[in-house]
Amino acid sequence: TDRKKLHTAPLGQVFRLRPFHVLIATGGGYAGYRKYEDYKLEQLEKRGIEVPVKLASEWEVALYKSVPTRLLSRAWGRLNQVELPTWLRKPVYSLYIWTFGVNMKEAAVEDLHHYRNLSEFFRRKLKPQARPVCCLHSVISPSDGKILNFGQVKNCEVEQVKGVTYSLESFLGPRISTEELHFSQAPPGNSFQQQLVTKEGNELYHCVIYLAPGDYHCFHSPTDWRVSHRRHFPGSLMSVNPGVARWIKELFCHNERVVLTGDWKHGFFSLTAVGATNVGSIRIYFDQDLHTNSPRYSKGSYNDFSFISNNNKEGIPMRKGEHLGEFNLGSTIVLIFEAPKDFKFHLKAGQKIRFGEALGSL
């Protein structure tokens, strides 16, 4: 007689699925499947087996883009800011270090209890001697990472990985005025690529560097140059690991990115920081007006900001190796620049590289 009565809801209410829940479950499950496929491809590459290029279909890309990665990345950013209890810091950070192979001996502060939250740990500084800057070469690596591709830009197409390309104009956006960039007027040309080459006899080059979660997350100036313009593209935040880059054509054009454009001694120079899943936060140290992965910006648009003004005719001068910005986790840096025809890269596709090491020289 003292038994409590159990009240149950009708089965129809218990199993009622909302469209948002279906979207999360479907998209999340498919993303997990793709991660497994990427893992298998990596294992084949390690064994030296050539992997044929298999591009995603339109419906696969649309399904992937339907996953609310921007919202999830903002949530991840909030979580990273939560201060961890002192007793919990070492176990949490040690697990991350073990998972991604982080070398804490290079960190300026090796004591894990020093980092109050995950965000501080991701953005840790290195000891000054840990990354010596090469003085013998004109262009150095702006970050730690893996070289995905490099070489000359041909036919207005850039390779994100071997055999998979994206449009140069879609990636950088419309041409910026030569007056704003301090350029001499470019020779008349029909293609977007020819418009970027401002000096006769020069070629356009590119280099793509992928930052893994265990890499040093800050990036630096790759050479001596002047930054004149910033263009921010709000977009998706799909994964940019090499497996996905091999699968989705024009991946870098879909994702959120910040394009810094200017000039160096040989003409046009640009550095683009590409966002990714859980890396919606891209910070440029000298640009306090930049706010990435913000709900106020819609996909498919872009916003410009000029560092040239009546009070500043030179833009932002950057010295080789100087701190430039940081990612929240890890992502991709794309360099596109003009140089004479005898410019040579000192790289191999797939090699690991560290900030300060040589990319190329004349």
The catalytic residue positions are 144, 220, 331
Using CB atoms within 10 Å of the CB of residue 319, give its burial: 0 to 12 exposed, 13 to 18 middle, 19+ buried: exposed
Cα–Cα distance measured from residue 6 to residue 204, given in angstroms and rounded to the nearest whole number: 73
Measured between alpha carbons, how far is 124 from 132 in angstroms, rounded to an integer?
17
> Half-sphere exposure (CA, 13 Å, Cβ side) for 349?
12
CB 245 within 8 A of CB 265: no
The neighbouring-strand residues paired with 112 are none
Q: What is the 3-state secondary structure (H, E, C) of 186-197?
A: CCCCCCHHHHHC
Is the distance from CB of 121 to CB of 148 less than 8 angstroms?
no
Query: 58-66 and 19-46 are packed helices; what angle lies between their axes, rounded to 10 degrees?
Result: 120
> What phi and psi, each to the nearest 5 degrees, are found at residue 160?
-85, -35
